[in-house]
Structure 1
């Protein structure tokens, strides 16, 4: 059931359709994402250019949507003429009513749900039962397409390969079974939904994840829904500054949405028990994400004169403290906890704080062009395409042509430059070029657009953009220095020479991702001892993604001392400390022999024997 809420400040119910002011006849309709609207608030904090704001799918609880919902409550007090309409579904409508108090609520009757068939067993083993159910439905010859909701994109791709193989073994009398990967942002998605099968006997099987639930416009031909009842999510752990991959049950709200996809005449097969206890609604992303970008934005809003953000669900205090600590390490805050000059410039750049700081540092090191490409490629979806069955070796050979000996960040520059070259030489065949090299054309186009936007931002705030000189020794050194200016908190050391990397900030062990240029194919050439990485995921493999070799001497030069000396004790830290101050390290060892064990800290030195002043990185 969908609901619409409209309100003004002061809780005075006034339907926005009761009169049509003259300005409506000259209005402009602007469609944008919630994140785009937040960026606009940096220059227009009270949204004075808008008379009506409509927020769709507020129940999705993205970080940007939650920030908007919190800030709008304060804006409405300043602008009583502003109209706000929120589109959401229960039970989140109850939270909105409680948050904004006396506001009108317009409810729409929900469509009749499909017949639900629940499993009598648990959903631990749901993958192959879901595929068997697809084949059973196809053998019944009943008309209608099928939608299957899996937990992750990896499962979707695996299911697609299996169903394509099994589809070739079905008898001709059953008709064609056409599996279609249905993921938001995927190339050709609208066509896949709107195009009708080439034969009346053809059946499409849409394979999707949680992100495809709101594509209800695909329901015209869908008669069967298979719901596995689980989802894989990335939940941020502030203690280790990393995402953890967790398998969770979907919410009751999601389950009800899926039952309505096939309409009253369809069937929804739920691969979980009917009495399973599902959470009432989706967890807000602000409780499961790194909120450093959120804190940086809200600090900027304080400068603009906007009050505290009244969150519907307040962020976790531990996550908030970690975000403030990270911004402090990045020199984005001054001694009073307000935005510094560096922090104000970082808030202008639409990137995560660490990448914004790296891009800012590249202005000093004359490698802006290369860092713009790295930032754009890492902001866009992965450019590597999952190869078809049996072509893994061919895909690896194609990707190896772009690999750079200095690391994955440089490999991304190679890929982007080759893509741009293909556009210049064969503009109309750049998509074919991407297919030949097993690269995602849409991801590279997204990176191209992102890079253009970042370039415009740097020009607007009058930061210098150096000429590209990729490939020179000095340029390589400068790129690494710029990366470490932002990502000095993400350093790891190979402790045994076999690829077991020790992460200095939280003492976890990790491996390099197989798709890295330092992956399995490069073991013969040896692995770098010290690396900086872009992303670390706590999962079955504990992989670091986008890795680049660094020099420990340069790391010491770039890391702020007040961060460096807060690192937990380890052999790797001792090596760095010895490089930083060999004499002090030897004195510490000599003093340690004379200090009782009870008076020694974890690093082996006397408690309170040394203090270090804060310093600000370049």
Structure 2
């Protein structure tokens, strides 16, 4: 083995001559350490992954791969992979670890003839999972969807023969529900660890037990350098591969704090553009509203710029939405156009979406607006706070491949050292954990319920999640998953929405609830109307361009509607697979409208508000927060403010808007709310009104009366227990 690895090291240090000897994957087989494992370039005519001849593009891309900082560590990585179960790879952004390490792992699996399975690599963002799969398939000279593929929510571009899969971390987490010990894989790579998403942290914890149960399984963790000490203490003494990237970056801090950093950003962008220095600009702003504001101003001012300076093209990049990555312009495209300076406007988590080597300037405001969930009031608060030192470092690394990059920090060095925490907070400690707890209850069935979290969630958040699942009837009397809970866990949706879909089976409105689930971005009934209009246009239009123009004419997002189609089809397939009852759509009738509200209330009875003064000030039923309907809500536009509403979203911020709403009646609410939830509500005028409604609706019946009611009326207490 040592002889073989010595030969690998010699090969990796060879010159870039055309006849350079290449390392053949099958020589990784630990059973063969002789010289036959090393072949010359002329002998390597066939790709070992698909058996076809290599294309000329393969060798061109191989030269580019060899220039990546991570390439120098291939020998060390392969040696540690052969001899250890866990390997940590530490490297800056853009060092190549996300594209090269999975390929090396695929070579390892090929060398042992896939006896333990293939390779899977997780990403936090689905855009990066798709783009990495496309890039790696190109570099390996194979077809996307065959030897290399990707799995993201509602899209699977893999076959049973796929060797290397890229996926989002939540997709691998969901796969554990049916395949707890991940027997299809010989190597699991967790990438984007620094993002600290809930799914990644759950995988980090659960894989500890999986590795004990499967000694042949390999786990690779790709991390930024600042997280290494925490990972080392979490996993113990495991091998560490450190990738160095020594490109110099000029960092400029403010000498003193400024009140309005937004004006400073705009001035700096135009100053850079007026300078003789070329290169694209990336701007990290605090929130999405700042992206929109900056986009409008720069576009307006940019149209008045001197054409001799070149064209300034602005790209808003929203990390939380479906968006394309920011990549380099193709060389042929550059030659055909006048000089373009691209300005990318993004926010936190946008770092991993920047894939361009043409970025020479980064502007960082140093603060972000974060969503922090408050379990006591079951709502998110939008809090402005400093980014972490690790986030600031990753933004600097975007310039890693530039020989003369400049980072403009619109904050002081004192602010960076005193106000910025070393690491980004784990999402586990700031988010609603109801979906995670539902998953953990489901995985507990397979004996993997214990999870040693790297950052333990707050007990209050866990208790609130368990309480919500209990209210939704996802748990039985012993605290385990009920039959309802098992079915709810099958849906890749918020548990409340999953419950509403299950309830819609009882109320014969599954078709409409699936549409709402696929399109939760506006008022519930408006969503159904939009989708049905879109379906009609799709049926009657002769081309995709025709449908796209219709969407533009009515200010609708064409790509979002197409995605809703995909999501809806996937959910319908799940309904059929689970063999839940499905009725034909009857949208528009008074009975159907009522049934949709019943289904929604079955899942969202915890999110009710009442207009307390008749002027649109809605007080939450569960706490004393006041909110307004969003101005673009159909109720706001028509000036018909309902007294009682059910809502999907509420965030404590400057405006305190509630979004995605439906008018309900207190009578309907009291028919469907679990009694023990209603009893636990804090005292309020709204609760008194509801109590009066309940007293009027259902005087205490005798046993005989109750049995008669259950036989005649589907809305009585006993019948509701089947749904709740």
Normalising by structure 1, report the TM-score.
Answer: 0.85
The one of 522, 530, 533 equivalent to 2:638 is 522
CA deviation after TM superposition for structure 1 residue 7, in Å = 7.4
Matches within 5 A, 1:146-161: 146-161=281-296
Given that 2:474 and 2:485 are in contact with CA atoms closer than 8 Å, whether structure 1 keeps it comes out as: yes
Q: Which residue of 2 aligns with 1:207?
A: 345
Q: Bigger shift: 114-123 or 480-489?
A: 114-123
1:58 aligns with 2:187: no
Aligned to 1:405: none
- Which of residues 544, 565, 573 is equivalent to 1:428? 544
Quote the residue 1:292 is aligned against: 434
Residue from 338, 348, 351 that aligns with 2:480:
338
Match of 1:42, SS state, is helix
| 10-19 or 68-77: bigger deviation | 10-19
Structure 1 Cα separation of the partners of residues 551 and 345 of structure 2: 24
CA deviation string 1:471-502 (max 9, x = no partner): 11111000000000000001111111110111
Equivalent residue number for residue 253 of structure 1:
390
Q: Of 548, 565, 573, which aligns to 2:679?
A: 565
Q: Return the alpha-carbon distance in structure 1 between the equivalents of residues 682 and 572 of structure 2.
A: 38
Q: Does 1:509 align with 2:623?
A: no
1:365-387 CA-to-partner distances (Å, cap 9, x unmatched) read 00000000101112xxx48xxxx
Which residue of 158, 163, 174 corresponds with 1:39?
A: 174
After TM superposition, the structure 1 = structure 2 runs for residues 566-605 of structure 1, keeping only pairs within 5 Å, are: 566-582=680-696
The aligned counterpart of 2:616 is 499
| Structure 2 residue matching 1:518: 3-state secondary structure | helix
Q: C-alpha distance in 1, partners of 2:586/2:359?
A: 53
SS in 2 for 1:268: strand
Aligned-residue offset at 1:584: 11
**Other-structure match for 1:30:** 165
Q: From the superposition, tell whether residues 495 and 7 of structure 1 become closer, same or farther in structure 2 (CA, over 3 Å).
A: farther
The counterpart of 2:514, out of the listed 366, 372, 380, is 372
Q: Quick check: 2:440–2:449 contact (8 Å CA) kept in 1?
A: no
In structure 1, what is the equivalent of residue 531 of structure 2? 416
In 1: Cα distance, 2:524 partner to 2:512 partner: 10
Tell me which residue corresponds to 2:663: 549
SS in 1 for 2:671: helix
Contact 2:195–2:349 (CA<8 Å) still a contact in 1?
Answer: no
Residue 114, structure 1, aligned to residue 249, structure 2:
yes
CA contact 2:251–2:407 (8 Å) conserved in 1:
yes
Comparing 500-509 with 107-116, greater Cα deviation is found at 107-116
* Contact persistence 2:85–2:219 (CA under 8 A): no
Deviation at residue 102 of structure 1 after TM alignment? 2.2
Structure 1 residues 251 and 537: CA distance shift in structure 2, 3 A = same
Find runs of 4+ consecutive structure 1 residues off by over 6 angstroms. Answer: 1-19, 24-27, 185-188
Shift of 1:437: 1.5
C-alpha displacement of 1:269: 0.6
In the alignment, what sits opposite 1:71?
206
Whole-Å Cα distance in 2 between the matches of residues 489 and 113 of structure 1?
53
What RMSD in Å do the two structures reach over aligned CA positions?
Answer: 2.7
Match of 1:460 among 538, 560, 577: 577
Moved more, 21-30 or 82-91: 21-30
SS state at 1:267 partner: strand
Tell me which of 170, 174, 180 is aligned to 2:315.
180
Matched, 1:451 2:588: no
Moved more, 116-125 or 539-548: 116-125
Whole-Å Cα distance in 2 between the matches of residues 307 and 617 of structure 1? Answer: 27
Quote the offset at 1:171 in angstroms. 2.4
The unaligned stretches of length 5 or more in structure 1 are: 384-407, 586-613
Deviation at 1:199, TM superposition (A): 4.0
Cα distance in 1 for residues equivalent to 2:215 and 2:653: 48
Contact map agreement 1:561 1:615 (CA 8 A) in 2: no
Supply the distance in 2 between the matched residues of 1:101 and 1:172 (Cα, whole angstroms). Answer: 58
- What are the within-5 Å matches in structure 2 for residues 274-293 of structure 1? 274-276=413-415, 277=418, 278-293=420-435
**C-alpha displacement of 1:186:** 6.4
Do the aligned partners of residues 123 and 108 (structure 1) sit closer, same or farther apart at CA in structure 2, a change above 3 Å counting? Answer: farther
Q: Which residue of 1 aligns with 2:406?
A: 267
Contact 1:112–1:260 (CA under 8 A) maintained in structure 2 = no
Question: For 1:73, what is the secondary structure of its paired residue?
Answer: helix
- Whether the aligned pair in 2 keeps the contact of 1:253 and 1:280 (CA below 8 Å) is yes
Question: Cα deviation per residue 1:546-565 (whole Å; 9 max; x = unaligned)?
Answer: 11100110100000000011
The 8 Å contact of residues 367 and 385 in structure 2, kept in 1 or not, is answered as: yes
Does 2:469 match 1:327?
yes
In the superposition, relative to structure 1, how do residues 360 and 7 fare at CA in structure 2: closer, same or farther (>3 Å)? farther
Note the C-alpha offset of 1:464: 1.3
2:491 matched to 1:349?
Answer: yes
| Superposed CA offset, 1:290-328 (max 9, x none) | 000000000011112224011111111000000000001
User: How is 1:91-102 mapped onto 2 (pairs within 5 angstroms)?
Assistant: 91-102=226-237
Query: Is the Cα–Cα contact under 8 Å of residues 224 and 267 in structure 1 kept in the other structure?
Result: yes
1:280: Cα distance to partner?
Answer: 1.0
Aligned-partner Cα distance in 2 for 1:199–1:428: 29
Change (3 A) 1:12 1:132: closer
2:450 is matched with which residue?
A: 308
Instruction: Quickly say closer, same or farther: Cα 1:367–1:616, change in 2 above 3 A.
Output: closer
Deviation of 1:507 (Å): 2.1
Alignment of 1:465-480 (within 5 A): 465-480=582-597
> Do 1:293 and 1:352's aligned partners in 2 also have CA atoms closer than 8 Å?
yes
Once the 2 structures are TM-superposed, how far is the Cα of residue 216 of structure 1 from its aligned partner? 4.3
CA distance in 1, matches of 2:598, 2:698: 26
The change in CA–CA distance for 1:495 and 1:18 in structure 2 (over 3 A counts) is closer
The answer for unaligned runs of 5 or more in structure 2 is: 1-68, 89-103, 119-160, 700-719
Q: Secondary structure of 1:432's partner?
A: helix
Q: 1:183 to 1:615 in 2, by over 3 A?
A: closer
Is this contact kept in 2: 1:501–1:510, CA < 8 A?
yes
Identify the residue that residue 459 of structure 2 maps to in structure 1. Answer: 317
Provide the secondary structure at the position in 1 that maps to 2:349. Answer: helix
Distance 2:579 2:237 in 1: 46
For the Cα contact (< 8 Å) 1:416–1:444, is it kept in 2?
A: yes
Q: Which residue of 1 aligns with 2:359?
A: 222
User: Who is 1:402 aligned against?
Assistant: none
CA spacing shift, 1:112–1:63, aligned 2, 3 Å: same
* Structure-2 separation of matches of 1:299 and 1:437: 44
Q: Judge which range, 339-348 or 360-369, deviates more.
A: 339-348
The aligned residue for residue 399 of structure 1 is none
